[in-house]
Chain A
Amino acid sequence: MIEMQKQETEPRIVAFVCNWCTYIAADAAGVARARYAPNVRLIRTMCSGRVDPQFILTAFEKGADGVLLCGCHPRDCHYSAGNYKTLRRYTLLKKLLSQMGFEDDRLRLEWISASEAEKFRKVVDDMTERVRKLGPLELNGGD
């Protein structure tokens, strides 16, 4: 019965994307009419460095089964080095989440430049499939 339910629910994924690279890639994916899974919903910030780890934890708390964090490639940040700060925070958060029992595939960091519409599509589809395999995230209230 539980298995059945797992198959029926679509995974929900929040993607934090920066305004200059990945948001533009997503727009370009639209222009190219690239079809991808509707499971991923985008939240735009000016820089990926704006993404407070708290946002990611909140996303999980509010029902996300996966979180995708996207920014400009190293050396390409519109604000010169915001993405390096993102990388540091991601690495720490990843450790914390693993200690809390989160599967590795639930949080993913990807550098996607404005020209990489196809990469954006692939990442979204791949992330969706990986999270689908994991099934819904079940938070047990800290037991």
Chain B
Amino acid sequence: MTEEPKIGVYICDCGFNIASVVNVPEVVDYAKGLKGVAVAREYKYMCSSPGQEMIQKDLREMGLNRVVVASCSPHLHEATFRRAAEAAGANPFLVHMVNIREQVSWVTKDPRRATEKAKALVAAGVARVALHSPLERRSVPVRSEILIVGGGIAGIQAALTAAEAGRHIYLVEREPSIGGHMAKFDKTFPTLDCAACILTPKMTAVKNHPNITLLSYSDVVSVDGFVGNFKVSVRRKPRYVDEAKCVGCFECIEQCVYKTAKFPSEFDLGLGKRKPIYIPFPQAIPLVAVIDPGTCIEFKTGHCKQTCVDACGDRDAIDFHQKEQLVDLDVGTIIVATGFHVFDASRMTNYGYGKLPGVYNALEVERLAASNGPTGGEFVLRDGRKPKAVAIVHCVGSRDEHYNTYCSKVCCMYSLKLAHLVKERTGAEIYNFYIDMRTPGKGYEEFYHRLIAENLHLVRGKVAEVTDIAEAPAEEGRLVVVAEDTLLGVIRRVPVDMVILSVAIEPQPDREDVRRMLNMSCSSEGFFLEKHPKLAPVSTMSDGIFIAGTCQGPKDIPETVAQAEAAAAEAIALTSKGSILLEPNLASIEEGLCSGCQVCIPLCPYNAIELDREKMVARISDVLCKGCGVCVAACPSGAISQRMFEDDQLLQEIEGVLSR
């Protein structure tokens, strides 16, 4: 760097966020005295338009050649300030951010010490930025295809939106049919329109859309590459029925050697039965049969009469020799819409789930309510009786420090919906046991009031126990729900015939595998972590990977759909120019210093380093290097450097943070 550094330091109050703890004027005065600093200023909101203009004006009029912004995390606004500098004609990489909000004012009690820490961080930033050089971003081509993982309502909506925009979509679903949890519901709150009527047309649209390749009964095995150029491997599980030949006529199922269905249906959560060859539900997409080799006689003994094959006839769709297939896909972006898992209510032994046959979880009750369900929409108990009184227990596994402390957000509303459906179809007395009734949302509070008018018994209190041990004649042969009614201040024992547990929305059990495969992070609850809760709610820390729906956190259908469309829009926006700019933080080798020792070569996780055998020096490929810097730290002759993280820059930063 030949030019003398002329540094501008801009310290943000962030309203009261920083200024209420850090003495900003004092830090400004301190910064003015640092080597190379030409100007230091304070402003209320540095990221706002006047704040950015203040920096731009100084860049133009004072001839600054370096900028330090001391404000929030660079993960929030580094891009903002780089853009501002660029617009003023400066190289964006001559800007450095110092984090005095997340790392100082928000976490330090003592204003004196917070101010001292802020000074040290500013000193470090100033010392570092003086050594910055102008850098160029690299442009890399990006593919426009989008991989969507998960075919629930989130994945379906994202697929349709992006496909309509002309993108090619690969939609991967691990179950035999798309539709996810929503396909299991009978009606949706607060409108009580039937889930199938709003979902199944979308499922059909997915099947018919020329831009969508649906890979059902498949899972993603590996993802390599980086934003714009992901290489994905998808495993297609054998259905033992040729998808191209099957017309979904159900003939094979009817003619199966099992005359009656006797195996628990996964789709009906075990409440209904299926045969070894089955279609999970009549509206399935794709409408293609699947054979379960675990129960099929041909697979178990090799001596079945194969009546299904005869029934299929000339269509010849059944293929007992079908093998698992690996399909390779090239995509530019990935949308993760892997959904949720319901809380296992048997963990709360006091509620008797899994032991008392009259106790159901809410998802099972959705299947009982559904007209395509095992009972054809009738609320019939496992013993065939119709319930005369039903208890609905809210917050099962939610808002409970033993299980999940968060609120699952949808349970109050779906509990009210189920209350309405059970009442409408059975005339039973309904008791909703709730802690707090939470119904924020468009038309939701109105729905709650409508339900109150339907003469529900609303009991405010967390249920202590569900038992079949009677203490009074009226309790004989029934389930008794024990709870403290906190509004009346009494313990109540309510005899009922059916208990519905409003179970929490939990992250999928295999989210760790998905997270690792896609280089994402999880929140402490296990939901995938968005890049920023407000400003980048569907982006992740991995560029080109977006999230939508309940894999990001509990949410209802309208929110899921909105997020799915947002994720589709983000994926389209990212790749619409055909190329993207990548950060210039790559490693490079100074040939004159390289001794050809090759220590660096096996360290590189991306095989980006090669030996030039003629010159006996190592070379780093700009295309393959991802800028981790592992090789830089290993080079014994100091021949490797990493742009944006040069040794001397970091050493200056170390000295700076220790200066006070």
Contacts and interface: CB of A to CB of B under 8 A. Distances in A.
B103 A14 contact: no
A23 B99 CA distance: 11
Interface stretch (B154-162, B259-267, B290-298, B647-655): B647-655
Contact of A49 (B101, B117, B521, B630): B630
A45 B650 contact: yes
B629 to A, nearest CB: 3
Interface in B532-588: 541-542, 585
Interface string A118-134: 10010000000000000
B657 A50 contact: no
A58 B121 contact: no
Contacts, number: 139
Given A24-B75, A27-B75, A41 B121 contact: yes
Given A29-B107, A114-B541, A58 B630 contact: no
Interface string B103-120: 110111110011011001
A38 B113 contact: yes
Contacts of A31: 102, 106
A34 B585 CA distance: 31
B529 interface: yes
- Taking residues whose C-beta sits less than 8 angstroms from the other chain, chain B's interface range is 35 or more
Contacts of A47: 628-630
B107 A50 contact: no
Given A33-B107, A38-B116, A51-B633, A43 B654 contact: yes
A103 interface: no
B315 interface: no
Interface in B379-436: none
A5 B99 CA distance: 31
A44 B103 CA distance: 12
Interface in A72-122: 75-76, 78-82, 85, 89, 113-118, 121
B20 interface: no
Interface in A16-58: 20-21, 23-24, 26-27, 29-31, 33-36, 38, 41-47, 49-55, 58
B253 to A, nearest CB: 43
B632 A113 contact: no
B627 interface: yes
Contacts of B633: 49-53, 85, 89
Contacts of B645: 45-46, 50
Contacts of A38: 104, 107-108, 110, 113-114, 116-117
A63 interface: yes
B73 interface: yes
**The 10 residue pairs across chains A and B that have the minimum distance between CB atoms:** A30-B102, A50-B629, A49-B630, A41-B657, A79-B628, A114-B521, A47-B628, A30-B106, A52-B633, A80-B605
Interface of A: 10, 12, 14, 20-21, 23-24, 26-27, 29-31, 33-36, 38, 41-47, 49-55, 58-59, 62-64, 75-76, 78-82, 85, 89, 113-118, 121
Given A46-B585, A82-B628, 11 more contacts: A24-B541, A33-B106, A38-B110, A38-B117, A50-B642, A52-B633, A54-B647, A58-B655, A79-B628, A80-B605, A114-B521
7 contacts: A31-B102, A33-B106, A43-B653, A50-B632, A80-B605, A115-B524, A118-B524
